[in-house]
A and B are shown apart, each in its own frame.
Chain A
């Protein structure tokens, strides 16, 4: 017979609130200067009620035109009511021709501002702030690639999707995309989003410019890292210019590529160069992630039941924190409040933690941890959600109904 901790405590006649040190993590350390998971924090001008952020997780719940739906807002409601401090929307395309999936969110037209106002109000009314993740996808998708422009740094087949860009970006295309970023950022601000996240990671288009694996250009956007990073820098400069100096802009970046420079990745110092360049150009905060798509879905580590395998990008965040002074959130394998508070104690610039799979499984994880810091997240990192990513509405296998028929079968 198995029993959960809450039932056990109830069985023994003990209220959780009355439980002493050891159960209540927040009270377990006498050092009041120690930073806690559940306390207010700031990413620039963005104030969060706690350090828990739902990192961008595409829900595949938008219309075919990329408009948000009631179903998407329901997901946000569950997260907001579940206690999360900030929701970052799923990847949102900024050009219709760059649509990455049938049900992905898009913000490519002014007519969508009103729709996204409802998304923002929905999150605010239920207690969470909300940011929109803007990105260009390029060849990291196989959605209707014969019927649309697939922008790319070079004609390199995508290692997972096999998609070859049919439009290697010219200087004119780059300027066109910069304008698209500007327009989308202004729409986001008008819709009332609390922040914007620019996705420069995970081998989406901008990340592909950074990776030598995908970028064999010989112009000012290829070659040394100073050139490969140019596109990212220009995007930030353009967006910062459009939204003003105080509006929070987060950049999702790699601490490490885990590919190796000989295999087409960046060195840790090259990634640091990119980060320093973003800081210099006015980024508000960094979302530290990592990995690559050349060797698989690098950012979704399986088998992280042991604490030593968790928060697997925290060391990279530490390295960055030692070199630049900028607020950071770190995403990837965060499963234990104890470990996260250790990271807070050790890495001064880490201000918050991002959760993807974990909150897909358990939208009220923040509240669960607030009640019981020893609560074990439902997510077992089985990656079933990732295996089926994009083929259906994103969901955890533990939340799937009995009547569900898996995609493709």
Chain B
């Protein structure tokens, strides 16, 4: 009986492993990191965003799997002034208040706006341009 159970557990393990393989625990940086490509980088704290799925920022692009070129958002999202109003610009990816069709990830402000609704007024705003939790 024990042998049968052992064989069964091996089979179950073998079947279930590939399905689990994509859900390995993903470690996140503990340090507060600067978001590059801005003159005064906004600090991003991974530990304050643990409720957000990693793929919302490290999203899958068209050709590859999950992107981890964290310091290179700007290699796809243009930081040029002339592109500021384009939906895919770096500025809009962060400051867009609404999700748009075809978005690969969540625009930062679209989530911040919702969070701000229930946030204590004593805390720095999640949506302000100055003296906010982003632009200090």
Contacts and interface: CB of A to CB of B under 8 A. Distances in A.
Interface of A: 2-5, 7-9, 12-14, 19-20, 22-23, 302-303, 305-306, 309, 374, 376, 378, 380-384, 387, 397-398, 400-404, 406, 409
Interface stretch (B59-67, B88-96, B98-106, B117-125): B59-67
Given A13-B9, A305-B64, A306-B65, A406 B33 contact: yes
Q: Label chain A's interface by main secondary structure.
A: loop
Nearest to A404: B31
Interface of B: 9-10, 12-14, 16-17, 20-21, 23-34, 41, 47, 64-72
A303 B67 contact: yes
Given A3-B20, A22-B14, A305 B65 contact: yes
A298 to B, nearest CB: 15
Nearest to B14: A22
Contacts of B27: 378, 398
Contacts of A309: 64
A383 B17 contact: no
Contacts of B16: 8
B71 A382 contact: yes
25 contacts: A2-B23, A3-B20, A3-B23, A8-B17, A9-B13, A14-B9, A14-B10, A19-B10, A20-B10, A22-B14, A302-B68, A303-B64, A303-B68, A309-B64, A381-B68, A382-B69, A384-B29, A384-B70, A384-B71, A397-B29, A397-B70, A398-B28, A400-B29, A400-B31, A401-B30
Best-buried of A13, A19, A406 by chain B (most CB within 10 Å) = A406
Contacts of B17: 5, 8, 22-23
A9 B12 CA distance: 11
A20 B29 CA distance: 34
A136 to B, nearest CB: 30
B34 A409 contact: yes
A4 B29 contact: no
Contacts of A12: 9, 12-13
